[in-house]
A and B are shown apart, each in its own frame.
Chain A
Amino acid sequence: MRPLRLVWIYPDLLSTYGDRGNLLMLERRARLRGLPVEVAEVNSDQPVPRDGDIYLMGGGEDLPQTLATRRLQADGGLREAANRGAVVFAVCAGYQVLGLEFGGADGAQVPGLGLLDIRSGRGERRAVGEIVADVDPALNVPRLTGFENHQGVTRLGPQARPLARTTLGTGNGDGTEGAYAGRVLGTYLHGPALVRNPGLADLLLHWAAGPLPPLPPHAEELAQRLRDERLAAVSPSQ
């Protein structure tokens, strides 16, 4: 069987806080199902491989975000992969990079990769804290729980669908959270977003590898306990 190729884009520029968690969760959930996995960590001085199955992008400060975008544009590999149907999953600054434009370090708008029909700018206040959001029912993924830490405000165009609707936290800033189109998906849940949302990890794996065999019993017990604990901690009624 051809191994599933996971490509982490620019950990040297876009990895501020636990972004490795997404790579480790995908790897673990694929291996537990007997799917062989190959991982490529691609730094900003290396070409982006064209033949990946799932591409990951993390968060970053303003300047590294702009630098990463320029390099990805010049390289062209991510766009090529996305156009042929590869899965792209990006969080926080990486999410903004996928869009048409975002707010740069000096206040000027920076053109993004245009893989998602979204436009981002800078909001007035930084959104920092736990976030809970209900996922688009079409995706069949349980409620999202995570942590956000950003000052972005994102508006979706007609070619992108909101990933979720926030019940706690800020997300895109208009009651929605994240966006997706085809197999390109972004979210403001920062860092290891897939850790508390194994359903989202499985959606990405499903997009890349087709129907997934079930996990061994107990393999999910701790992740589920963590998820329940975090959701209960921010729920006002419980």
Chain B
Amino acid sequence: MRARLATTVGGAAATVSRLAGRDGSVIGGIIGLRLEPGLLSLLAADRQVVLVTGTNGKTTTTRLITAALTPLGQEIASNIYGANMEAGLTSALSKAPDAPIAVLETDEKYIPAMVKATNPKVVVLLNLSRDQMDRAAEIWLLARRWREALAAAPGCRVVANADDPLVAWAASSARQVTWVAAGQRWREDSWCCPNCGSHLHRDGDDWACGECGGRRPPVSWMLSGDQVIDPTGRATSLDLKLPGRANRSNAVIALAVAEAFGVHVTQALSELRAVTSVAGRYTQVNRRGCEIRLLLAKNPAGWLEALDVLAPAPAPVLLAVNAQGPDGRDTSWLWDVDYRRLRGRNVLVGGERKLDLAVRLEADEVPFRLVNDLDEAVDLARTVAPNLEVLANYTAFQQYRAVLGRTQ
């Protein structure tokens, strides 16, 4: 009864919030939780819950898993707009009270509490790397907390990336693990053994510790080029619409989760291929005759993957960085990204912290031009190419999306 009252009041608040022009994805959850602190547990009871976490790819993977599970023909609750703390999860569940399945993107720090509250069927661990250090926890500490939380949840299956040593260490405390070779492009946070601190031996995607014997676990799913290799050893081309290695990796994880729900690879894959954009990411928009593609990346690992995805020259690249609260107020991370591959390209620099980025590019000897807004970039781009690639961090991305009219 309390749960029903709390969700009803929370739902009313969300409606008011939407009428007031906000997106309403969190306010309902906040009010509901104030009325009934155990609301999330009550809402999660009797559902099959999937929690998705990691530094990068949470939103996209949540979307892909939701797509991969559609062949089940059941309603799925999900926080598709990335409200990924307790209130966001609560709100997503209360909006779909009858959905028997929930796929929930979860902030890295909240995993211990959310595992406890939702008694998940599956926990997905994608990757762990440095991210917005002014407000995020340090990652070795985070891995330790995941490890403790999963050891205390014997009923849940973990789907984890075996190629990320920190993730593998955290996941190995769980009773049941599906190991996926999902690759690891960014390695600057995993040169040392998370268990004992010794320098790891790394050879391709393989890794092993010479001191404590920790090593990459044997995998049952694998990403190999554009193919997924499933546990039967069969290779299938992914052929996704979403670009880049990171999304192929997210897709293989989604297929492994789908299998835990009894959805076959072939069925799940045809759903994944239909996904073209995720909450505005990868969207193509035409602005004054210029085809703009928006890429979002929030931290060094994300930028590294995104730089791989850029359309080739002569398409100019607009890089934009802000340092508002959600971005992290510290721009130091710009120095962890290697920009040298942009040499010889037409590079434009925007965002509220464009000078930080400018000094960074200067150190890498990448020529660039500063721009004040998106349209200045479009005007410059149109003189050399029909399209413009935009790579921005969180609030810079949202600002550009607002300019472009939030086209999905």
Cβ A226 vs Cβ B336 within 8 A: no
A58-74 interface code vs B (CB 8 A; 1 in, 0 out): 00011110010000000
Minimum CB distance partner of A66 in chain B: B197
Distance A25 CA – B333 CA, assembled complex (angstroms): 15
Q: Establish whether residues B192 and A12, one from each chain, have CB atoms under 8 Å apart when the complex forms.
A: yes
Which residues of chain B are within 8 angstroms of A192 by Cβ–Cβ distance?
Answer: 332, 335
Stretch at the interface among A13-21, A155-163, A204-212: A13-21
**CB of A48, distance to nearest CB on chain B (Å):** 14
Interface-centre pick from A64, A67, A192 (highest chain B CB count, 10 A): A192
Query: Shortest distance in angstroms between A121's beta carbon and chain B's nearest beta carbon?
Result: 18
Q: Indicate if the CB atoms of A67 and B134 lie closer than 8 Å.
A: no
**Which of B140, B335, B362 is most buried by chain A, counting CB atoms within 10 A of its CB?**
B335
Can you name the residue of chain A whose Cβ is closest to the Cβ of B363?
A24
State which residues 178-211 of A face B: CB under 8 Å.
190-192, 195
Main secondary structure of the interface of A (DSSP, over half): mixed
Task: Give the CA-CA distance A101 to B12 in the complex, in Å.
Answer: 56
B199-A61 in contact (CB<8A): no
Central interface residue in A11, A43, A191, A223, by most chain B CB within 10 Å: A191
Given contacts A17-B130, A64-B192, A229-B355, contact A147 B332 (CB under 8 A): yes
In the complex, are the beta carbons of B332 and A190 less than 8 A apart?
A: yes
A67 partner, pick from B135, B197, B329, beta carbons under 8 A:
B197
Q: In whole angstroms, how far apart are the Cα atoms of A119 and B333 in the complex?
A: 29
Residue of B nearest to A192 (CB): B335
Q: List the A side residues contacting B336 at CB < 8 Å.
A: 17-18, 20
**Alpha-carbon distance between A167 and B198 when the two chains are bound, in angstroms:** 40
Chain A, residues 15-38, CB within 8 Å of chain B (1/0): the string is: 111111100110010000000000
The answer to whether the Cβ of B9 comes within 8 Å of any Cβ in the partner chain is no
* Chain B 129-172: CB-based contact to A (< 8 A → 1; otherwise 0): 01001110011110000000000000000000000000000000
B226 CB to closest chain A CB, in angstroms? 32
Q: Which of B138, B199, B356 contacts A45 (CB 8 A)?
A: B199
Known contacts A64-B197, A191-B335: A128-B191 contact under CB 8 Å: no
Q: What is the number of contacts between chain A and chain B, taking CB atoms within 8 Å?
A: 89
Chain A positions within 8 Å of B364 at CB level: 24
Please measure, in the bound complex, the distance between the C-alpha atom of A178 and the C-alpha atom of B363, giving whole angstroms: 26
Is A64 a contact partner of B188 (Cβ separation < 8 A)? no
B330 close to A (CB within 8 Å): yes
Q: How far is the CA of A12 from the CA of B197 in the complex (A)?
A: 10
Asked if A109 is at the interface of the complex by the 8 Å CB criterion, the answer is no
| B359 lies within 8 A of chain A by Cβ | yes
Question: Would B198 and A147 count as touching, CB distance under 8 A?
Answer: no
Question: With A and B bound together, what is the CA distance between A90 and B251 in angstroms?
Answer: 42
Which of chain A's residues has its CB closest to B357's CB? A226
Instruction: Map CB proximity to A onto B336-368 as digits: 1 under 8 Å, 0 otherwise.
Output: 100000000000000000011011101110000
Chain B residues numbered 164-194 whose CB sits less than 8 Å from any CB in chain A: 188, 191-192
Q: Taking A61-B138, A63-B197 as contacts, is the C-beta distance between A17 and B330 under 8 angstroms?
A: yes
In the bound complex, residues from chain B placing their C-beta under 8 Å from that of A11 are 188, 191
Contact flag A226-B335 (CB < 8 Å), given A45-B198, A61-B138: no
B334 at interface, CB cutoff 8 A? yes
A138 in contact (CB, < 8 A): no
Cβ contacts under 8 Å, A190 to chain B: 332
**In the complex with contacts A43-B191, A129-B329, A226-B358, A19-B335 CB distance below 8 A:** yes
Assembly CA distance A190 to B333 (angstroms): 11
Chain B nearest CB, measured from A82 CB (Å): 23
15 further A-B contacts with Cβ under 8 Å, apart from A63-B197, A192-B335, A223-B362, are A12-B199, A13-B191, A17-B133, A17-B336, A18-B336, A24-B335, A28-B362, A28-B363, A43-B199, A61-B139, A64-B140, A147-B330, A190-B332, A192-B332, A195-B360
Between A and B, 27 residue pairs with Cβ closer than 8 Å are A11-B191, A12-B192, A13-B197, A15-B188, A16-B133, A17-B130, A17-B133, A18-B333, A19-B335, A21-B363, A24-B364, A25-B363, A28-B363, A43-B191, A63-B140, A67-B197, A128-B134, A147-B329, A147-B330, A147-B331, A149-B134, A149-B330, A195-B335, A195-B360, A222-B355, A226-B355, A226-B358
